[in-house]
Amino acid sequence: MNTFVRWLGYLFVIFIAAPLLVVVPMSFSTSSSLEFPPPGLSLQYYEKFFSDPAWLRPAWNSILIASATTILTMILVIPATFALVRHRFWGKGIANLMMMMPLAVPHIVMAVGYYSYFGELRLVHTHLGVILAHTCLSVPITFLVLSANLKGFDRTLEQAARSLGASPRRVFLHITLPILRPGLMISALFAFIQSFDETVVAIFISGRGAETLPRKMFDSIRQEADPVIAVVSTLLFVAVILGLLAPQIVKAVQSALGRSARNASE
Amino acid sequence: MSSYLQLSGINKTYGNFTALENVDLEVEKGEFVTFLGPSGSGKTTTLMLIAGFATPTRGTIDIEGASLAGLDPQDRNIGIVFQNYALFPHKTAAENVYFPLQMRDVKRLEGMRRADEMLDLVGLAGFSHRYPKELSGGQQQRVALARALVFEPDLLLLDEPLGALDKNLREQMQIEIKRIQKKLGVTTIFVTHDQTEAMSMSDRICVFSNGKIEQLGKPLDIYHRPKTKFVADFIGESNLIPARITDAANCKAQSNVLGDVTYGTQSGTELRDGQEVSLVIRPEHLKLSSKRLADRMSAGIEIETIVNYGDNALVIGTSESQQIRVRVPGADVVILNEGDKCFISWTQDDVFVVTD
């Protein structure tokens, strides 16, 4: 490869990774404020994070909200995707557009909308409010991933299963669902990450009652520039990386197990 | 007459498009019938109607006198091998074959044993634990066949199953499918657009064109006695030469290219004097010679192209701007040159008449 292009590539990687290169070292700092480079190394802020309810409560909130968002999103998106990918009906174009809308509208606009509307419904500062809002935001990306998977699904497999004696319900359970499983896992993962990372809407409506981790970080940096923020950032980063790598890890483990099972049987 | 599978007056329309028109067909138990035709001729549509993936607009389908109408595909007990095999990628070969038994509530231990037996029968012993993507095209084909047969279906449908295989493998699978079909005695319908496949495998061939059955008969009957221009053209190579009937009672016709011709008697259609028809002569029935032969009818042509295939050669000549194709044995071709003038000759039995 051309040397120039190669260096351009390195430069790009550094540019993308730069924030991490700053944040990760700061999380191991001894300094009493956010400071780069760190004057000394310690685990004191990790200790603080894992012992302070003011941080653990938002962390728990985030996990709870992201999990509920994921479940609700999947319940809505799976049937919607089958309908939109496999069937033709009146208003399909509009329905498609509506599904993708949250991707186009700025989060701040959505947030203002939720703030005033959920206020009337008394959903502001509640877990349910944040879950509902996050579900709306997770729908487009989940739908995109799942519909790409479903479009690539060979429907003669379903015909074959029917001809072999399976009712439509059993076809879905024995054939369609297992084959789509990787796509379902990935889209669920995206829904989870989307909710876990979401900040703008959370700042507007999560309040004290349902405060999420990104919101707590935002408050914290405005008030005190607490280095625990760097710890949380690092942990969030590690969690997301693990989440994204999960399918590969699972696959590697499965194929290793499958190989040893086959070796054993031969 | 008690036929095993009976299609009566089948019509299928999609909006304004007529996919099938008045299809009648009777298949005997254990018979191997091929649906042959170009794409869009209605052969696959007919197969889908039998399988239950589509409903005929009019007409009935019966197996052993019992109507299939209203039966869902899963209740028809019909095995299908699809063009792309449609093996379940998340199941091993044995699990694929076990699937129809599983759907019939056969216990796993018993079902997997029967799946292994069936894989043995199709020549795949020892491949039970492979996933479809770890198998070659021919092996996948055998798994698909085993899966379609393991539950002892009333009928086996094969939808262009050999299309994706290379030539040698295809011939091997033709023989293999025939062997298994005979051994199990299962009534089989085979869909293809490949006429050599149809000729070599079938008990009877059903030629489809434009949503209708053009001709139904034994392979050699169809080859030697095509009823229509379409069949003559589609099955094997043919010279189709326009002609006019001059004396129907004595089998005489007249053509610009061949002159006065006496044609062989032929089945079915009534011919009348003055009718415009096509004369069909197979390229392998024509003889090339440098002089007119006394005991044969003949006509002069000029050789335009010679295509050598080793064991035989195709000589393409023209007469009155009509192309004539002649098959000659490979050894005879060395004395011929492009541009030579010579004679083609034939006997009465080599010529048959088809109408449009």
What pLDDT does residue B51 have? 94
Q: Does B199 touch chain A (CB under 8 A)?
A: no
Residue B147: closest C-alpha in chain A: A164
| Whole-number Å distance between alpha carbons of B273 and B232 | 22
Residue A168: closest C-alpha in chain B: B74
Average pLDDT over residues A119-130: 88
Smallest Cα distance from A122 to chain B, Å: 47
Smallest Cα distance from A245 to chain B, Å: 22
What pLDDT does residue B90 have? 94
Region for A104 from its dihedrals, namely left if φ exceeds 0, alpha if ψ lies in -120 to 50, beta otherwise: alpha
Chain A positions touching B52 (Cβ under 8 A) are 162-163
First to last CA, chain A: 45
* CB neighbour list of residue A39: distance below 8 Å, 6 or more residues apart: A29, A30, A31
HEC string for chain B = CCCCEEEEEEEEEECCEEEEEEEEEEECCCCEEEEECCCCCCHHHHHHHHHCCCCCCEEEEEECCEECCCCCHHHCCEEEECCCCCCCCCCCHHHHHHHHHHHCCCCHHHHHHHHHHHHHHCCCCCCCCCCHHHCCHHHHHHHHHHHHHCCCCCEEEEECCCCCCCHHHHHHHHHHHHHHHHHHCCCEEEEECCHHHHHHHCCEEEEEECCEEEEEECHHHHHHCCCEHHHHHHCCCCEEEEEEEEEHHHCEEEECCCEEEECCCCCCCCCCCCCEEEEEECHHHCEEECCCCCCCEEEEEEEEEEEECCCEEEEEEEECCEEEEEEEEHHHHHHCCCCCEEEEEECHHHCEEEEC
| Whole-number Å distance between alpha carbons of B330 and B312 | 4
CB hemisphere CA count around A144 (13 angstroms):
12
A241: confidence class by pLDDT, cuts 50, 70, 90: confident
Smallest Cα distance from A161 to chain B, Å: 8
Chain A positions touching B47 (Cβ under 8 A) are none
Q: Does B104 touch chain A (CB under 8 A)?
A: yes
Residues A46-83: pLDDT tens digits?
998 999 888 899 999 999 999 999 999 999 999 999 99
Better-predicted residue by pLDDT, B80 or A251:
B80
Residue A165: closest C-alpha in chain B: B74
* Residue A249 belongs to some domain of the structure: yes
Q: Does A92 touch chain B (CB under 8 A)?
A: no
For chain A, strand residue ranges (E) read none
Query: If contacts are CB pairs under 8 Å, which of residues 138-177 in chain A contact chain B?
Result: 154, 156-157, 159-167, 170, 174-175
Kindly determine whether residue B80 and residue A163, on different chains, have CB atoms separated by under 8 Å: yes
Instruction: Tell me how many domains chain A contains.
Output: 1
What pLDDT does residue B227 have? 85
User: Dihedral of the CA atoms B4, B10, B13, B16 (nearest 10)?
Assistant: 160
B158 beta partners: B81, B190
User: Three-class SS of residue A223?
Assistant: helix
* Residue A97 belongs to some domain of the structure: yes
CB atoms within 10 A of CB A207: 15
Residues A74-120: pLDDT tens digits?
999 999 999 999 999 999 999 999 989 888 899 899 999 998 998 88
Q: Does B82 touch chain A (CB under 8 A)?
A: yes
Nearest to A212 by CA among A188, A231, A236: A236
Residue B150: closest C-alpha in chain A: A164
CB atoms within 10 A of CB B135: 19
Kindly determine whether residue A162 and residue B104, on different chains, have CB atoms separated by under 8 Å: no
Q: Does B151 touch chain A (CB under 8 A)?
A: yes
What is the crossing angle of helices A127-151 and A177-197, to 10°?
140
Q: Per the structure block, which two tokens stand in for B353? A: 């008449």
| Whole-number Å distance between alpha carbons of B121 and B132 | 18
Average pLDDT over residues A179-204: 90
By DSSP bridging, strand B212-217 and strand B204-209 are antiparallel
Smallest Cα distance from B199 to chain A, Å: 27
| CATH superfamily of this structure's domain B237-354 | Nucleic acid-binding proteins (2.40.50.140)
Phi and psi dihedrals of B345, rounded to 5?
-140, 160
Is B232 buried (19+), middle (13-18) or exposed (0-12) by CB count in 10 A? buried
Residues B257, B343: contact at Cβ < 8 Å?
Answer: no
Q: What count of CB pairs under 8 Å joins A to B?
A: 64
Q: Per the structure block, which two tokens stand in for A128? A: 């349910």
Smallest Cα distance from A179 to chain B, Å: 7
pLDDT over 70 percentage in chain B? 97
Chain A positions touching B80 (Cβ under 8 A) are 159-160, 163
CATH code where residue A181 lies: 1.10.3720.10
Q: Does B73 touch chain A (CB under 8 A)?
A: yes
| Whole-number Å distance between alpha carbons of B200 and B34 | 10
* CB neighbour list of residue A163: distance below 8 Å, 6 or more residues apart: B51, B52, B73, B74, B76, B78, B79, B80, B148
User: Dihedral of the CA atoms A125, A127, A128, A132 (nearest 10)?
Assistant: 90
Picking from B73, B83, B129, the nearest residue to A162 by CB comes out as: B73
Residue A162: closest C-alpha in chain B: B74
Q: Does A257 touch chain B (CB under 8 A)?
A: no
Kindly determine whether residue B77 and residue A167, on different chains, have CB atoms separated by under 8 Å: no
| Whole-number Å distance between alpha carbons of A258 and A244 | 23
Residues B57, B46: contact at Cβ < 8 Å?
Answer: no
* Amino acid letter, A264: A
A31: confidence class by pLDDT, cuts 50, 70, 90: confident
* Residue A91 belongs to some domain of the structure: yes
Residues of CATH 2.40.50.140 domain(s) within chain B? 237-354
Smallest Cα distance from B158 to chain A, Å: 12
* Residue A187 belongs to some domain of the structure: yes
Residue A167: closest C-alpha in chain B: B74
Q: Please tell us whether the domain made up of B5-224 is placed in CATH 3.40.50.720.
A: no
* CB neighbour list of residue B28: distance below 8 Å, 6 or more residues apart: B3, B4, B187
* Residue A11 belongs to some domain of the structure: no
Chain A positions touching B82 (Cβ under 8 A) are 156, 159-160
Residue B87: closest C-alpha in chain A: A157
Q: Does A20 touch chain B (CB under 8 A)?
A: no
* Residue A2 belongs to some domain of the structure: no
* Residue A15 belongs to some domain of the structure: no
Helix-then-strand count for chain A, H and E:
12, 0
Is A16 buried (19+), middle (13-18) or exposed (0-12) by CB count in 10 A? exposed
What pLDDT does residue A264 have? 54
Kindly determine whether residue B82 and residue A161, on different chains, have CB atoms separated by under 8 Å: no
Average pLDDT over residues A227-250: 84
Domain that holds residue A40: 32-260
| Whole-number Å distance between alpha carbons of B252 and B245 | 6
Residue A156: closest C-alpha in chain B: B86
Interface test with A, best of B82, B83, B98 (most A CBs within 10 A): B82
What pLDDT does residue A266 have? 45
* Residue A208 belongs to some domain of the structure: yes
Better-predicted residue by pLDDT, B311 or A143:
A143
Which regions in chain B score pLDDT beneath 70?
A: 1-2, 265-269, 333
CB atoms within 10 A of CB B146: 26
Residue B99: closest C-alpha in chain A: A164
Residues B293-329: pLDDT tens digits?
888 888 888 888 888 888 888 888 888 888 889 888 8
Q: Does B98 touch chain A (CB under 8 A)?
A: no
Tokens 């949380």 sit at which residue? A232
Kindly determine whether residue B78 and residue A163, on different chains, have CB atoms separated by under 8 Å: yes
Q: Cis omega (within 30 of 0) on the bond before A37? A: yes
Q: Does B126 touch chain A (CB under 8 A)?
A: no
CB atoms within 10 A of CB A173: 12
Residues of CATH 3.40.50.300 domain(s) within chain B? 5-224
